[in-house]
Chains A and B, each alone.
Chain A
Amino acid sequence: MKLTLNDVYYRYKSNLPYVLNGVSGEFESGNLYAVTGESGCGKTTLMSIIGNLDRPEKGTISIDGADIKTINEDTYRSKYVAMIFQSYNLLYNYTAVDNIILMLNISGYKGDCKERAGELLNEVGITPEKQRRVVTELSGGEQQRVAIARAVASESKIILADEPTGSLDSKNSEIIMEIFSEIRGRYNTCIIIVTHSAEIASKCDKVMRMSEGKLSYSETCK
């Protein structure tokens, strides 16, 4: 699977300058990407455009050559691309397992959703007892792991993570990165992480830099 951005332009309002100013790049399965850059350079906007939360003004985003405009918006979000946010964005009145079951139902999982949700949460280190807790009763690191499990539940080939360790301490950050690394290997997933942290970026396979609305490979790329 290959995600291709071709000369993508985007701005929030027509009277504002472009946030994405001709972004091009390629992302492939089985790789862990880091996108770095200064605050306001458009990293998060890039994630939201790839995640189809909004449409680019110009340019194309394609998956294996198919323009994502031709793919149903909901199908794209539930089966092609999964998003992980800095603030987790879980359903906070749901239990951990219910968050995963919901995602499995949205993505049309055919098996036993409850059993699969338990497996996924076990994979990210959430114990059965904690799986039954409302997510607000979990720590930040645990919530982020639930968010990762939700992303994996969709069986998407692309996972977009916007500052996934931004709210976590170094120990939890390390755990999260280990989980990402394991997922990439187990499910052959393309994981794109937006981060300010050089340490996080250093654990990725490839590092890309956003600057003035454009994307380029960093010199620190592995």
Chain B
Amino acid sequence: MYWLTNSLKNLYRSRRRYIPLAVMYFILVCGAAAGVYTFIRMNTATEAILREYAGVCEVGVSKSMADIYEETPPVTKDQLLSLGGSYGTDEAKISKYTFCTADVSAEYKAKAEIGADGESIDINSPVFVFGYEPSLTYLYSSELELGEGELFKAPGECVISKNENNTSPDMVSWNRLSLGDTVSLAVGDDRVDYKIVGIIAENKDEDSKTNRRMIYTPLESAELFDKYLTKDLSLPSSSTLEPELFTPEASAGTMINLGYSAVAFLESPDLLFDINDRIIDSIPGFNIQLSPMHGDFAALTKLTETLASSSVLFIIAFALIILIVTLITTFRLISERKYEIAVLRSVGMPKLRLVICYLIENLAFVWGITIAAAAFSIIPARPAVGKVLDTIKQMVAPEIFTAISGFGGKVWFYSSVSVFLAMTAAAALTLIFTAVSILRFRPLEILIRRD
């Protein structure tokens, strides 16, 4: 016990020697630890968000939306079935996607009743109806950025999108719709009424100019059109799909498309890109839309990759700093305290005990500063983390971000492991260096002034 406390006391006794080094080391470790903290924290958050994205990424396969708007079917039914076949057979087995195409060749007609006086307008162009599973609504809320009203809650309620910039006759009529109005859709022999409870903010993107007649409603309300899907889909390969692949998410993503298009919902973002490449090869002339349901998936992926590689660099830098400073401290400790070592050897201090004492002193210094600096580094790291998290927040739906932002357990795990490994390596090298230095040490020349 005496030797332990004496070694620690030596830190205080040699404080003038240690303080400048401690300050330098503290700053270095603080910077490195802040970097590690920030990057790992960010990386963990984005990775978790990407995992959440799995299953809700969408790939749309269609001719351009302009073609749909012009009501010139871009593909024949046979072609679309062929596309469905492509999904349903080859790709389905490989990619495990959960739902594929929809082709409703029925006549369509949207009739909107406006106001209490029952004024009616006819919309003679495609209207897209999206049915959402209520429990998954949060996943879609980034798209449903409401300008007025609220999100639909009950069957028969809907949110519509408008675009004042679009001057086509149908769109001008559509833009007259407001909260409380009713939109009636007729498909085949069926008619469905939707009460408007929310209106989506306008001009979100360029594409909205041609694609604003959209109705978002609970899945239950949209499912009324399912029979058209099942009737007309006629996927020759659907029987080959595994039943369990039809997950609730798949149902939630069922797109009732009163135009011509195909949509697939995938379980894995990675598979999404894989399928995309294959479709491009197999169906020339199709417009492939990669549409992650929320935020900029590609940017987030890139950010994650950057953060991951940066984290590794910072961890390596962190470890190197610990190693280098430990060795410098040890070297200084041995070289500047040769006299002290000589004295201790001359009075019979065993070499091994001397090695242990200097090792304790050195490691107490290095580890003490490291732990203190690592803990302190959170202070400068927090605003940096906050800034990057804000960036990520803009890329994803707020609900996802909130769910993910508390996910930080791995940060401390990785940080602890990296610090532990660096310290262990530093301890091992220090032990070797200290032992070799002291074991080879001869006190005679230092202590004896020969006459």
Contact A44 B347 (CB under 8 A): no
Any B CB within 8 A of the CB of A143: no
B70-78, B321-329, B442-450: which lies at the interface = B442-450
Any B CB within 8 A of the CB of A76: yes
Chain A residues with Cβ below 8 Å from B234 are none
Contact A150 B450 (CB under 8 A): no
Chain B residues with Cβ below 8 Å from A90 are 343
Q: Which of A44, A89, A106 is B348 in contact with, Cβ under 8 Å?
A: A106
A78-86, A170-178, A181-189: which lies at the interface = A78-86
Known interface pairs A54-B444, A105-B3; A74-B451 also in contact (CB < 8 Å)? no
Contact B450 A107 (CB under 8 A): no
Q: With the chains together, A87 CA to B448 CA distance in Å?
A: 9
Any B CB within 8 A of the CB of A66: no
Q: Which of B3, B9, B339, B443 is A53 in contact with, Cβ under 8 Å?
A: B443
Q: Which residue of B is nearest A93, CB measured?
A: B13
Any A CB within 8 A of the CB of B165: no
Contact A53 B451 (CB under 8 A): no
Any B CB within 8 A of the CB of A39: yes
Contact A93 B14 (CB under 8 A): yes
Q: With the chains together, A103 CA to B52 CA distance in Å?
A: 66
Chain A residues with Cβ below 8 Å from B343 are 89-91
Contact A39 B451 (CB under 8 A): yes
Q: With the chains together, A117 CA to B397 CA distance in Å?
A: 72
Q: With the chains together, A53 CA to B14 CA distance in Å?
A: 26
B residues 340-398 in Cβ contact with A at 8 Å: 340, 342-351
Contact A102 B348 (CB under 8 A): no
Q: Which of B13, B340, B350 is A74 in contact with, Cβ under 8 Å?
A: B350
Contact B442 A54 (CB under 8 A): yes
Contact A53 B444 (CB under 8 A): yes
Q: With the chains together, A45 CA to B448 CA distance in Å?
A: 8
Q: With the chains together, A60 CA to B121 CA distance in Å?
A: 122
Any A CB within 8 A of the CB of B289: no
Chain A residues with Cβ below 8 Å from B443 are 53
Q: With the chains together, A91 CA to B346 CA distance in Å?
A: 12
Q: With the chains together, A132 CA to B442 CA distance in Å?
A: 31
Known interface pairs A54-B442, A93-B13, A102-B6; A154-B447 also in contact (CB < 8 Å)? no
B2 → A minimal CB distance (Å): 5
Q: Which residue of B is nearest A45, CB measured?
A: B450
Q: Which residue of B is nearest A162, CB measured?
A: B448
B5 → A minimal CB distance (Å): 11
Chain B residues with Cβ below 8 Å from A44 are 448-451
Contact B2 A51 (CB under 8 A): no
Q: Which residue of B is nearest A79, CB measured?
A: B348
Q: With the chains together, A76 CA to B449 CA distance in Å?
A: 22
Q: Which residue of B is nearest A89, CB measured?
A: B343
Contact B347 A106 (CB under 8 A): yes
Counting chain B CB atoms within 10 Å of each CB, the highest count among A75, A93, A101 belongs to A93
Q: Which residue of A is nearest B13, CB measured?
A: A93
Q: Which residue of B is nearest A88, CB measured?
A: B343
A residues 91-137 in Cβ contact with B at 8 Å: 91, 93-94, 98, 101-103, 105-107, 113
Known interface pairs A44-B451, A53-B447; A76-B348 also in contact (CB < 8 Å)? yes
Any B CB within 8 A of the CB of A77: yes
Contact A77 B347 (CB under 8 A): yes
Chain B residues with Cβ below 8 Å from A78 are 347-349
Contact A103 B3 (CB under 8 A): no
Known interface pairs A93-B13, A93-B14, A105-B3; A43-B451 also in contact (CB < 8 Å)? yes
B443 → A minimal CB distance (Å): 6
Q: Mark B246-273, 1 if CB is under 8 A from A, else 0.
A: 0000000000000000000000000000
Q: With the chains together, A163 CA to B6 CA distance in Å?
A: 30
Contact A86 B449 (CB under 8 A): yes
Contact A107 B3 (CB under 8 A): no
Contact B349 A74 (CB under 8 A): yes
A122 → B minimal CB distance (Å): 21
Counting chain A CB atoms within 10 Å of each CB, the highest count among B9, B346, B442 belongs to B346
A45 → B minimal CB distance (Å): 6
Q: With the chains together, A48 CA to B443 CA distance in Å?
A: 10
Q: With the chains together, A82 CA to B82 CA distance in Å?
A: 100
Chain A residues with Cβ below 8 Å from B347 are 77-78, 82-83, 102-103, 106, 150, 154
Given contacts A93-B14, A150-B347, A154-B348, 8 further A-B contacts (CB under 8 A): A40-B451, A44-B451, A48-B448, A51-B346, A75-B348, A77-B347, A89-B342, A93-B13
**11 contacts across the A-B interface (CB closer than 8 A):** A43-B451, A51-B346, A54-B444, A77-B346, A78-B347, A78-B349, A83-B347, A89-B343, A101-B2, A102-B344, A105-B6
Binding site for A on B (CB under 8 A): 2-3, 6, 9-10, 13-14, 339-340, 342-351, 442-444, 447-451
**4 interchain residue pairs of minimum CB distance:** A78-B348, A77-B348, A93-B13, A39-B451
